A and B are shown apart, each in its own frame.
Chain A
């Protein structure tokens, strides 16, 4: 179906494209590019939808906190248990607190947060917007002379970008604390000593970039989930596809972007 809408990016999914995976691949990127362009333009247009952004921050951030905290805590415990044996083998047991803290804060915390958010938030946004699309609620927003890209997508992308760093800090905190608990159960160590050893050589250049890169992850999750949701077609099956593809694409793009972000952080902050 080759439909074109006036509000959003045109859907260039014509019949000719449907049987050509390469063309579909490039068409998807083209549409994503146009979607991002329109999204950026709406960011500078009034109204700024502050109330809706706050509502989304609650839905995306506060309601993801328990699962992110749990994932962070589990990561801390696993890391503590796995690293203890390895470090003992190489005679570096005293470095264990630093290894746990550095690994969690620089990489595990942010990436676990982003992947958990891809699952919870990505699926939620993809399904919600997909459902709104197939039940014509997005058309109804346009018909009310409100830009759905601004009201639905921009608000969610901003909320994701703002909340992911906070969630990452929560995951880091829970991971470090649970890492200490796991460690102290086998090799008793005071919390003060654990933290002193762990954070002794840590600088803001270690902490800030790795935490702030989750804002980029948040943008990726928000943009891809909104994009997939808003182009859903085909009833409930289409909603399911939108939700699944939101999670898969968000997770994939988060992991790939992490490679580039880590390299950039090394260049600019090492």
Chain B
């Protein structure tokens, strides 16, 4: 990947809020699907420019949490405040105004399969900016260069690998200069080198552009490179949180088990 991330652009609009409150504030969040309780009173605070990684077993509601944060799902109860706005009670137009400030990388990238790589990245720009086609093209090229995908502009998503799709997904998530990035398992299914590259990219974004990021991941070694704070979800609740070292000192049984399984995995 090239080193021109800083040159993507300078955010032209000021942050949505300057109230000094946390950028993301989740309080008492409950979500169930039928009889299955997925989230049972989650509280989560993420400060501006902080990178938080959410850990936990499969099916503990990590991806659901991200979808609640961007308003793709509605909570059963509780509040989700992004940049000072409670998004669970916003009308769709107001919600879309908040969404423009959020970049989302889906677990399987979710690229539009009828559009080329370049058109995928151009999609949000075309709809939310007044830039000329030439300016958009230039920005798309810069975004794709930043993730090492400038050679594959005209390929369809089906013609590139899963790792490449994730990179394009990141470029698309960055298109509107987001203040908050939500990554759903950015390194899953990738080879170790690409996983490290993606990790470095997230770290760089946070360092150079002060982007707030919430990353759902199982890949703790890669996550340590960019994470300020880990949050561990278990049975719909936050079982523990802190830096990796703080988690290692935790006496919470699930956190101990999670970290010991990691140690075993690394040794094997």
Contacts of B33 in A (CB 8 A): 1-3
Question: Is A142 close to B, CB under 8 A?
Answer: yes
Among A4, A132, A135, A139, point to the contact of B74 (Cβ < 8 A). A4
A139–B70 Cα distance when bound, in Å, is 10
Among residues of A, the one whose C-beta sits closest to the C-beta of B97 is A145
Chain B 29-40 per-residue mask, 1 if CB under 8 angstroms from chain A, else 0: 000111100000
* Interfacial chain A residues near B113, Cβ < 8 Å: 131-132, 135, 137
Distance (Å) between the CB of B162 and the closest chain A CB?
Answer: 13
| Contact indicator B72/A145 (Cβ below 8 Å) | no
Rounded to whole angstroms, the CA-CA distance of A222 and B100 in the bound complex is: 29
Chain B neighbourhood of A91, CB < 8 A: none
Q: Quick check: is A14 within 8 A (CB to CB) of the other chain?
A: yes
**CB-CB under 8 A for A145 and B112, given A2-B34, A6-B72:** no
Contact yes or no, A143 B70, CB < 8 A: yes
Residue A186 at the B interface, CB < 8 A?
A: no
Interface residues of B in 186-212 (CB under 8 A from A): none
We find that the number of chain A residues with CB closer than 8 angstroms to chain B is: 25
CB distance from B95 to the nearest CB of A (A): 6
Closest to A138 in B: B110
* Contacts known (A4-B73, A6-B74); A144 close to B123, Cβ less than 8 A: yes
With the chains together, A3 CA to B73 CA distance in Å? Answer: 8
Select B110's contact among A3, A6, A139, beta carbons within 8 Å. Answer: A139
Pick from B32, B95, B123, B172: contact of A6, CB below 8 A. B95
Q: Are A135 and B108 in contact (CB under 8 A)?
A: yes
**B91 and chain A: residue at smallest CB distance:** A6
Q: Is the CB of A47 within 8 A of B127?
A: yes
Measured in the bound complex, the distance between the Cα atoms of B25 and A68 in whole Å is 56
Check: A237 CB closer than 8 A to any chain B CB: no
Give chain B interface residues in 84-122, CB to chain A under 8 Å.
88, 92, 95-97, 99-100, 102, 104, 106-108, 110-114
A143 touches B102 (CB 8 A): yes
B128 CB within 8 Å of chain A: yes
Q: Which residues of B contact A132 (CB under 8 A)?
A: 112-113
- Alpha-carbon gap, A28 to B2, bound state (A): 51
Q: Say yes or no: is A207 at the interface (Cβ < 8 Å to chain B).
A: no
Task: Please give the distance in Å from A150's CB to the nearest CB on chain B.
Answer: 10
Report if B124 contacts A (CB, 8 A): yes
Q: Per a CB cutoff under 8 Å, which of B71, B112, B114 touches A140? A: B112
> Which residues of chain B are within 8 angstroms of A146 by Cβ–Cβ distance?
96, 123-124, 127
Q: Are A136 and B74 in contact (CB under 8 A)?
A: no
The reply to whether B104 and A143 contact each other, CB–CB distance below 8 Å, is yes
Q: Does A187 contact B (CB under 8 A)?
A: no
Contact B110 A137 (CB under 8 A): yes
**Interface code A114-140, partner B: CB below 8 Å = 1, 0 otherwise?**
000000000000001001100111011
The reply on A270 being an interface residue by CB < 8 A is no
CB of B137 within 8 A of chain A? no
User: Is B67 an interface position by the 8 A CB rule?
Assistant: yes
Which A residues from 82 to 131 make CB contacts under 8 A with B?
Answer: 128, 131
Best-buried of B72, B73, B99, B106 by chain A (most CB within 10 Å): B72
* B104 pairs with A140, CB closer than 8 A: yes
20 sample A-B contacts, Cβ–Cβ < 8 Å, listed by A number: A4-B73, A4-B74, A6-B71, A6-B73, A6-B74, A6-B92, A47-B127, A135-B110, A135-B113, A136-B107, A137-B111, A139-B110, A140-B110, A143-B104, A144-B172, A145-B96, A145-B100, A145-B124, A146-B123, A147-B92
Sample of 12 more A-B contacts, CB < 8 Å, known A3-B33, A135-B110, A136-B110? A2-B32, A3-B73, A6-B74, A6-B92, A7-B92, A14-B34, A128-B114, A136-B108, A139-B67, A143-B72, A145-B96, A145-B97
Q: Which residues of A contact B (CB under 8 A)?
A: 1-7, 14-15, 47, 128, 131-132, 135-137, 139-147
